[in-house]
Amino acid sequence: MVADEASPFETSQMLATFLASTPLLSESWRLCTTVASTAPWGFVTEQSGVVVYVAFPDVEMTCGSESSWTNLVPLNSIGDVPLFPSHRNKENNEPVMVHAGMLNLFSSFFKPFQNQMLAMMGNPNTKSIVITGHSIGGATASLCALWLLSYFQHISFSESMSVLCITFGSPLLGNGSFSRAILKQRWGGNFCHVVSKHDIMPRLLFAPITPYTTQLNFLLQFWQLSMTNPSFGKLAVQISDQQKEDLFNFVMSYLHAAATQDEGSAPILFHPFGSYFFVSEEGAVCMDDSMAVIKMMHFMFESGSPACSIEDHLKYGDYVKQLSLQFLNQKNSMPGKVPDSSYEAGLELALHSSGLGNQESAIEPARECLKMTRRTGPSPTMNAAILAVTLSKVVPYRAEIEWYKAWCDQQTDQMGYYDLFKRRRSTSKMAMKVNMNRHKLARFWNNVIDMLERNELPHDVAVREKWVYASLFYKLLVEPLDIAEYYAKGMHTTRGHYIPHGRERRYEIFDRWQKDRMVTAEENNERSNYASLTQDSCFWARVEEARDWLSSVRCESDTSKEAKLWDNIERFEKYAMELIDNKEVSQDVLAKNSSYSLWVEDLRELRELRAKVKRIPHNFNPFVDGEVIP
């Protein structure tokens, strides 16, 4: 098949070719060298046509103490702009965290950068913003680009203005949640990290710094010299060859563990994010798969030496110049044997461009690393398109359930949708059909969730309007039937009530999807009519719990337990009335013989009885001369 024959390796190398053939890399690096010499404690802005370049220097971080130099701190917002709110809504989710020192450094640049960007937004001649930085300056550039992307999203900025962050030899910045949150926002393509073959700085944070590390002094010295000296080259002569070797071996041991995922090894604290542009003397190759990036970092670094691992941090200017010349004079043929297919051709081209094609020990591991980027089967985007077609095929099942609900609402027994399904006869063909449709829809949505968790769908499916609304409508329509089935079969007597013990995981996931979506102004308008579907899909489960409380309070002799039951009853009553007043319930809730209406009537009668009991004096004897006083 053509889809199987297409080579992602050729694509990644062509992407590297395209990027190197534009002025983006050369202009970004030129500005990085300019800011290092002219504004070591500020940033430089320069406009070239419709593109604005902003460059940040490599300066010292303010971390507070040596022990905090690799601390991770939560990143919830920048200024008044919230970051990744959907990620925070997820239960049991690792918070988005970034390097404490780099965040502190970014804070020192933020206000002037923010003012500069706000001023540029009104300039019709600015169509693109390229934010760049070398070494620690690259981390600052990444955070600035992240703020700008978040700000545009926060204000719904409609102007056509693109944001691209290009870093050179930047250290890792955040944890796995940080990396995944950027993917989910579809911002991975806005970050391009240029990493040379042997540069230690992008790999340094794979090695933890702790008071128990024997190489701690060398690592701290490395950080101090790299951050306090804008001319990073002084480092090469300020530490001994033995210290360089110890540092190289120490970082290599942790990088090897991260790349091979050895059992029992320390967890990876910092993760790559965005696209990585690996450069070597032979060319360049692009990658965006996190694990493949880690492996490629390992294979390239392993082929180097302690001396070049430090010196390579200074050679980005040479690489950029060399790449431009190489791609201007690129050969039309590849050395060696002619590949049998475009897949093999792409693989060999990417391997050659990585600079590992001539190193016997690294060829096979690097080839396997590159193969990781090849997807087996359709891409996530293609899967999403196929799934959209499948969704259209299950719509009739949903429509039949909608028709059944409308039919229930018209019945003369006035029981409503929930209670009629709960009390349905086993011989009812209509109810049997609805029940079958309920199971078919459950299988479809469980499959959607499974595909998303296996990374077979785009990371942003959970925030796409089409899927959020489709899952919401399904939940509001079908979950009342699941609740009815649960209580009709008496499962609450053996397992407990539905919400804590019987609710399917898909509904909990859809709740989070709903919280993640942006609420429009139209949705905030007050309703003039009752909703077609009750907006709390668990409403009937709450009614069942309230019925249980009402039954229990009638025979409860313990005053403290009785008070707690009444508190639960009154809180539910208030909640239900708010839904009704806001017209957020369907009319079947208010049907004369629905479980809710009957509960309201039972509650009224119980209150009247309690009121009568309270009016009777404690010393009153209802028997006088053998007769009962009415």
Query: For residues 73-110, b (16+ Cβ closer than 10 Å) or e, as one string?
Result: bebeebeebebbebbbeeeeeebbbbbbbbbebbeebb
At residue 474, φ and ψ (nearest 5 deg) are -60, -45
Instruction: With residue 130 as reference, give the H or E element that holds it.
Output: strand 128-134
Under a CB-based contact definition with an 8 Å cutoff, are residues 51 and 128 in contact? yes
Report DSSP letters for 399-423, one per residue: HHHHHHHHHHHT-TT--HHHHHHHT
Under a CB-based contact definition with an 8 Å cutoff, are residues 20 and 323 in contact? yes
Contacts of 287 (CB under 8 A, 6+ apart): 12, 275, 276, 278, 293, 296, 373
Q: Which two tokens stand for residue 240?
A: 């001994």
CA distance 278 to 531: 55
Question: Of the candidates 257, 236, 209, which has an alpha carbon nearest to the alpha carbon of residue 309?
Answer: 236
CA distance 587 to 534: 8
Under a CB-based contact definition with an 8 Å cutoff, are residues 395 and 570 in contact? no
Instruction: With residue 616 as reference, give the H or E element that holds it.
Output: none
Catalytic residue among 86, 198, 199, 298: 199
Told to judge if 150 belongs to the known catalytic residues of this protein, a careful annotator would answer no
Contacts of 146 (CB under 8 A, 6+ apart): 78, 83, 182, 187
Pairing of strands 77-78, 44-48: unpaired
Instruction: Give the Å distances, CA to CA, from 236 to 224, 233, 527.
Output: 13, 6, 70
Question: Of the candidates 137, 72, 132, which has an alpha carbon nearest to the alpha carbon of residue 108?
Answer: 137
For 121-210, where are the alpha helices, taking DSSP H only?
136-154, 176-184
3-state SS string over 197-237?
Answer: CCCCHHHHHHCCCCCCCCCHHHHHHHHHHHHHCCCHHHHHH
Instruction: Give the Å distances, CA to CA, from 505 to 449, 501, 543.
Output: 10, 11, 21
Q: Which two tokens stand for residue 290?
A: 């996190």
Token look-up 């051709």 returns 345
Question: Of the candidates 436, 427, 429, 428, which has an alpha carbon nearest to the alpha carbon of residue 398?
Answer: 436
Q: Which two tokens stand for residue 72?
A: 């991770």
Under a CB-based contact definition with an 8 Å cutoff, are residues 462 and 452 in contact? yes
Contacts of 40 (CB under 8 A, 6+ apart): 57, 59, 230
Instruction: Give the Å distances, CA to CA, from 287 to 1, 61, 369.
Output: 24, 29, 10
Sheet strands (E) in 388-524 = none
Catalytic residue among 7, 12, 86, 135: 135
Catalytic residue among 87, 134, 271, 313: 313
Told to judge if 135 belongs to the known catalytic residues of this protein, a careful annotator would answer yes
Contacts of 56 (CB under 8 A, 6+ apart): 35, 43, 109, 131, 132, 133, 137, 138, 140, 141, 144
List the catalytic residues: 135, 199, 313
